[in-house]
């Protein structure tokens, strides 16, 4: 038995795709599977969703190659930088490449010429994230140049939003306007225009354009609390009966381990390195074989909780490299070998990625993306 397991419910991901597809219909739904499919496992997730989505968006070339090696034939878009010397590999993988630099575009065109077939590309415009993209002022000329290059097939043109999960629509509208201005008249008819990630796809229908790129929502997590509240309030305004957000997104990941040792300690006894926690009563301490090397963030020390027997139990003392300790005094039948849930549901209790993120001072995106590659994953 592995010391811990990530169980991924592929059916939940398929249902999330179905419900999100219905929500944004008739706009095609692309799904983002970067960062090992937000920790869920790139290849199994893509195989489960193959044929059900408009395309897969990855960050790097190696992810596109891994999908092709696994037999995934759906369209793929690489969102991040491709090393110049590896454009051949992207072409061979029939993965579309993102362009934000004309030097790189020329290099890509010469690779495609040598390989005797056009390379699919998406031009990116930076409308306000200051990360990747042609500046809006350069975009019309750059896009025209790309569109006129026969070795490049301008499949899409996109931008990325900075604050779409905020209730204040101001900056999203500004970015939308900049994108329209930068691309108006510059794009061939068939070019797919896209800008919305999960939050905008759900909150701002006018940003859906010709495709949405959904990441976090696919994995059953709300992009922000505001996003969920916004959808609820819109339903109330339209006198829609029922909460449209209930059951819309199903989390798909459960992270479990088990107790490997148990001990009784006395009032005043310390636990863990630095003795940062002391028992305020006679206490039962369970040792778990999961520490920060397994992805249990050390900032959960004396802050986080886990589920034992369907009850929340506090992590006490500092999380170690490969182990951590939990106060199970409130679970009288806790025993060595008993299952412990670090993330997910046990009976009526649940630890969500948002709970963990709140305890660590981060966002659920990071909690998922940092789940280590080496943890065993089981797919159901
Ligand atoms: C990660 C990413 C997305 C997905 O964002 P979510 O908020 O997870 O839906 C979409 N587009 C780009 C360019 C991204 O980098």
Mean pLDDT over 351-356 rounds to: 98
- Which DSSP state fits 330? T
Ligand 1 pocket check for 156: Cβ under 6 Å: no
Pocket test for ligand 1, best of 160, 196, 215 (most atoms within 8 A of CB): 215
Whether the CA torsion 357, 367, 46, 197 is positive or negative: it is positive
How many residues make up the chain in this entry?
Answer: 380
State the distance from the centre of ligand 1 to the C-alpha of 17, rounded, in angstroms. 15
Give the pLDDT band (50/70/90) at residue 117. very high
Alpha helices, DSSP H, located in the chain: 10-24, 34-38, 42-49, 61-69, 87-92, 102-114, 139-147, 170-183, 198-203, 225-237, 353-360, 364-369
User: Would the pLDDT of 200 be above 90?
Assistant: yes
- Give yes or no for residue 79 CB within 6 A of ligand 1: yes
Please give the class, per CATH, of domain 10-233: alpha beta
Phi and psi, residue 262, nearest 5°: -140, 145
CATH 3.20.20.10 residue spans of the chain: 10-233
What residues contact residue 118 under an 8 Å CB cut-off, 6+ apart?
A: 112, 150, 151, 152, 153
| Residue 195 Cβ contacting ligand 1 at under 6 Å | no
Q: Is the CB of 198 under 6 A from ligand 1?
A: yes
Residue 310's pLDDT band (boundaries 50, 70, 90)? very high
Looking at ligand 1, which atom is closest to the CA of residue 365? 8
Cα–Cα distance measured from residue 82 to residue 299, given in angstroms and rounded to the nearest whole number: 34
For 360-375, what is each residue's pLDDT tens digit? Answer: 999 999 999 999 999 9
In CATH terms, is domain 253-351 a member of 2.60.120.280?
no
Residues of the chain with CATH 2.40.37.10: 253-351
Atom of ligand 1 nearest to the CA of 34: 1
Distances (CA, A) of 25 to 18, 238, 262, 350: 10, 19, 53, 31
Provide the whole-model pTM: 0.96
pLDDT higher than threshold 70 for residue 347: yes
Tokens 């993965």 — which residue?
A: 95
**pLDDT range class, residue 111, cuts 50, 70, 90:** very high
Task: Count other C-beta atoms under 10 Å from residue 107's C-beta.
Answer: 14
133 CB under 6 A from ligand 1?
A: no
Q: Which atom of ligand 1 is nearest to the CA of 79?
A: 13
Of 213, 219, 365, which is best to mutate to test ligand 1, by the most ligand atoms within 8 angstroms of its C-beta?
213
Q: Is 242 left (phi over 0), alpha (psi -120 to 50) or beta?
A: left
Residue nearest to atom 4 of ligand 1 (CA): 215
Kindly give, in sequence order, each residue whose CB lies less than 8 Å from that of residue 20, ignoring residues fewer than 6 positions away. Answer: 29, 201, 214, 217, 218, 248
What's the chain's average pLDDT?
A: 96
Give yes or no for residue 235 having a pLDDT over 80.
no
Is the model's pLDDT at 237 over the cut of 90? Answer: no
pLDDT 10s digits, 319-345: 999 999 999 999 999 999 999 999 999
359 neighbors 304 (Cβ within 8 angstroms)? yes
216: Cβ below 6 Å to ligand 1? yes
Angle between helix 61-69 and helix 42-49 axes, rounded to 10 deg: 60
**Cα 53 to chain centroid, rounded:** 16
**Residue 64, SS3?**
helix
Alpha-helix runs per DSSP H in 184-322: 198-203, 225-237
Q: What is the DSSP letter of 273?
A: G
In this prediction, what percent of the chain has a pLDDT beyond 90?
A: 94
- Tokens 């490449």, located at residue: 97
Q: What is the pLDDT of residues 186-197, one digit of tens each?
A: 899 999 999 999
**Active centre residues (catalytic):** 34, 273
Q: What is the pLDDT of residues 238-281, one digit of tens each?
A: 666 678 888 999 999 999 999 999 999 999 999 999 999 999 99
């Amino acid at each position: 038995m592995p010391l811990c397991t990530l169980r991924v419910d592929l059916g939940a991901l398929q249902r999330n795709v179905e419900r999100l597809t219905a929500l944004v219909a008739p706009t095609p739904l692309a799904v983002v599977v970067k960062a090992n499919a937000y920790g869920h496992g790139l290849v199994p997730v893509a195989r489960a969703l193959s044929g059900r989505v408009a395309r897969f968006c990855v960050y790097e070339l190696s992810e596109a190659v891994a999908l092709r090696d696994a037999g995934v034939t759906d369209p793929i878009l690489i969102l991040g930088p491709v090393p110049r010397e590896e454009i051949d590999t992207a072409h061979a993988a029939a993965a579309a490449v993102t362009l934000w630099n004309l030097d790189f575009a020329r290099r890509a065109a010469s690779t495609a010429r040598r390989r005797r077939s056009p390379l699919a590309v998406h031009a990116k415009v930076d409308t306000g994230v200051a990360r990747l993209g042609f500046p809006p002022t350069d975009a019309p000329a750059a896009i025209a140049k790309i569109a006129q290059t026969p070795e490049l097939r301008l499949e899409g043109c996109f931008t990325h939003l900075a604050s779409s999960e905020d209730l204040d629509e101001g900056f999203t509208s500004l970015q939308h306007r900049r994108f329209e201005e930068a691309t108006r008249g510059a794009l061939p008819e068939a070019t797919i225009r896209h800008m919305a990630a999960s939050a905008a796809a759900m909150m701002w229908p006018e940003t859906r354009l010709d495709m949405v790129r959904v990441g976090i929502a696919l994995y059953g997590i709300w992009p922000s609390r505001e996003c969920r509240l916004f959808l609820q309030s819109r339903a109330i305004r339209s006198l829609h009966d029922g909460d449209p957000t209930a059951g819309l997104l199903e989390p798909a990941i459960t992270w479990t381990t088990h107790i490997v040792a148990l001990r009784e300690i006395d009032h005043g006894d310390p636990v863990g390195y630095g003795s940062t926690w002391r028992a305020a009563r006679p206490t039962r301490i369970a040792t778990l074989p999961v520490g920060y090397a397994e992805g249990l963030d050390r900032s959960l020390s004396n802050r986080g909780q886990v589920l034992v027997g369907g009850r929340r139990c506090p992590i006490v003392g500092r999380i170690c490299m490969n182990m951590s300790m939990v106060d199970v005094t409130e679970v009288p039948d806790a025993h060595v070998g008993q299952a412990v849930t670090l993330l997910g549901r046990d009976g009526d209790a649940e630890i969500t990625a948002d709970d963990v993120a709140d305890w660590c001072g981060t966002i659920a995106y990071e909690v998922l993306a940092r789940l280590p590659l080496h943890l065993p994953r089981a797919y159901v």
